[in-house]
Structure 1
Amino acid sequence: MSSRPPRRPVDGLLLLDKPQGLSSNAALQRARWLFKAAKAGHTGTLDPMATGLLPLTFGEATKFSQLLLEADKCYEAVLRLGVETDTGDAEGQVIATATVAVDRRTVESALARFRGEIEQIPPMYSALKRDGKPLYEYARAGIEVERAPRLVRIHTLVLLDCDGDTLSLRVDCSKGTYIRTLAVDLGRVLGCGAHLMALRRTRIGPLNLSAAVTLEALEAAPEGPARDAMLAPVDTLVAHLPAIELDAVCAAAIMQGRQLPLPGTKAGQLRLYAAGRFLGIGQTDGQGRLLPKRLVANGKVGSALG
């Protein structure tokens, strides 16, 4: 009988450049195995077809992953005009074709309709649930269910290239935006149909692909300190929040779940530190009080941000 490899406590954030053809969970499990981590999770899944930034959280960092789920995201997308598929991407079956007769000016005019706040109908091939079952299960069974439109926001939509039946776009958008749906809707506005050929995520909130590592680089790093050094500190996930340093007495009170007086502060979240160590995040209520919101275990993790 094979024994399970030993797990160890690992705390930190790995910015992974996910390869094409691998699910987010499969990428997570490979990284977790390499670190022999006891606890791990991912934030903001990518379809197997998509590549790019996939933040993986380990240990205490998993407590803060929800913050990334709410963050804006940036993608680079390649669209194929003239062909619609049942999934909205290159992995689906072709359901319609049309002649492509568009130029850059036509495309730019069409893109203007998708900037700002727009409504999207979520695709059937998605993980959204209806009656406890993911929509993609209905889709695979040939059943289409009604989906309510959702409001999303496209902050930036830039045409990077327009070459015959292929478009390249940069999309900066709110959470919950489906780039596959954007591709399909744009194709219909252009009158020729379209689907998503390739997708690469380049940013989530304050985190950028430029700082990401590949699975190959992770595997090549020697096991131990060299590999662990590829993890970013836990507080990287909350670097966008203002920080406050607590003395030893106040830090002990916060870690015991007690509130502290903090006059003159507006309501909002703060990063909490004591002697340069990250304690977690607190919430000010706008009435001069600081309350613990999400804390690390015993303030045990270090920080590179302070």
Structure 2
Amino acid sequence: MEVHCDVNESEIMDVAKTFIGKIYQKPPVRSSVKRRVRKREVYSIDVLEIDKRKVLMRISSEPGTYMRKICHDMGILLNCGAHMRELRRVRSGIFKEDTLVTLQQVSEALYLYRNCGEEEELRKILMPMEIAFCGVPKIIVDDETVNSISYGSPLMAPGIIAYQDFKKGDYVGLITWKGEGIAIGKAVIDSKQLGKKGEVVKTERVLMDKDIYPKAWKK
């Protein structure tokens, strides 16, 4: 962040603390989402270094939090304005900076595979999509229910074989007996309320192609 005037370090530290916790944000004018006020949670803000008007911070927050908006709003509280000078994402969920590859590396790996039949470099880059399910509760779904979910249907209680504890509003990974990722959804009840009937998870992102598993439902 770059502050637009000379400010004491103690003021910057105090202002940064006020943004920890639940905050309200309206996305910037230049953004890819609708500009309406949203609530997001900032878990921590560490001020790592202050060099005159430049402030280096490490922020951990809920997905969808706008860093440049935080910088702008901090500038307002500092009474002189501020803007985001540079952004570097060091982690997203379970994925960390050291797991990233460049597009050049992808291009070279594809070239070796397509033209030389060498797949070693490509295997270093590609990861099963199920790795993204790490860190979220998972539900094992009956084989007869898989295909309906691949069409976007919600998960109903009779289709559940086993599950990890989850709460209402949690994102949940839906998987098969074999550990294949089917979809990501949002729980509409707590796992403690799970019964023999009713909707359990509302499907939000389908990952598995349709009709891979047998169709056990009627249109």
TM-score w.r.t. structure 2 length? 0.68
Task: Note the C-alpha offset of 1:195.
Answer: 1.1
**What secondary structure is seen at the aligned counterpart in 2 of 1:213?**
coil
Q: 1:218 to 1:113 in 2, by over 3 A?
A: same
| Aligned-partner Cα distance in 1 for 2:148–2:53 | 59
Q: 1:265 to 1:207 in 2, by over 3 A?
A: closer
1:111 is matched with: 16
Is it true that 1:272 corresponds to 2:175 in the alignment?
yes
User: In the alignment, which of 109, 133, 146 is matched to residue 238 of structure 1?
Assistant: 133
Aligned residues: 182
Is it true that 1:228 corresponds to 2:122 in the alignment?
yes
| Aligned-partner Cα distance in 2 for 1:81–1:150 | 25
User: In the alignment, which of 67, 79, 104 is matched to residue 191 of structure 1?
Assistant: 79
Task: Note the C-alpha offset of 1:166.
Answer: 0.5
| 8 Å contact kept, 1:255–1:295 | no
Identity of aligned residues (%): 22
**1:210-246 C-alpha deviation (Å, 9 max, x unpaired):** 2111122223322352353111102122222345667
Q: 1:118 to 1:257 in 2, by over 3 A?
A: closer
| 8 Å contact kept, 2:137–2:164 | no
| 8 Å contact kept, 1:265–1:286 | no
| Aligned-partner Cα distance in 2 for 1:150–1:185 | 15
| 8 Å contact kept, 1:203–1:209 | yes
| Aligned-partner Cα distance in 1 for 2:66–2:136 | 27
Is it true that 1:286 corresponds to 2:194 in the alignment?
yes
| 8 Å contact kept, 1:267–1:286 | no
| 8 Å contact kept, 2:139–2:162 | no
Unaligned segments of structure 1, at least 5 residues: 1-78, 83-99, 130-146, 300-306
User: In the alignment, which of 245, 257, 260 is matched to residue 148 of structure 2?
Assistant: 257
Amino acid at match of 2:69: T
| Aligned-partner Cα distance in 1 for 2:32–2:36 | 15
Amino acid at match of 1:260: G
Q: 1:244 to 1:179 in 2, by over 3 A?
A: closer
1:126 is matched with: 31
Amino acid at match of 1:126: S
1:296 is matched with: 208
Which one has a larger percent strand, Structure 1 or Structure 2?
1
Is it true that 1:206 corresponds to 2:94 in the alignment?
yes
Q: What aligned pairs does 1:23-34 form with structure 2 within 5 A after superposition?
A: none
**1:121-142 C-alpha deviation (Å, 9 max, x unpaired):** 322222234xxxxxxxxxxxxx
Bigger relative contact order (CA 8 A; separation at least 6) = 1
